[in-house]
Amino acid sequence: MQKYNIADFIGEFERNSTSPNTFYSASMDMSIVLRCRANPQVGKMPNYLVYRKGKGKAHYMSALWSFNSTTKGAFEYIITDTQGAKAIVEIDMFTLKIKKP
């Protein structure tokens, strides 16, 4: 498994108009893809994130653990990195934001 720190992903990613499950940050040159498991098994969340730096290989990031839905139409999830540090992911129609809890 690829090791990463959640602090490297803090920021805002814009939705890609041609691939709606892909979010991109030009300042980080990084894409985050929202994926869904076709047949989620017991103990595995159905939605998860994958990240890609530049044109490199995609790596598993984290499952999306439901946290909250806001009044402004966004959904919030908890994610963790390989060391167990947590962050909050907020997804709305146009952006995916990763922030510290």
Considering the chain, what is the average pLDDT of its residues? 88
Q: What is the DSSP string of 23-79?
A: EEETTTTEEEEEEE-SSPPTTS-SEEEEEEETTS--EEEEE-EEEEE-TTS-EEEEE
Q: What is the pLDDT of residues 46-67, one digit of tens each?
A: 899 999 999 999 999 998 988 7
pTM comes to: 0.85
Any idea where the domains of the chain sit in the sequence?
Answer: 6-99
Please tell me the distance from the alpha carbon of residue 63 to that of residue 80, in angstroms, as a whole number: 8
Half-sphere exposure of 63 (CA within 13 A, CB side): 11
User: Of all residues in the chain, what percent carry a pLDDT higher than 90?
Assistant: 51
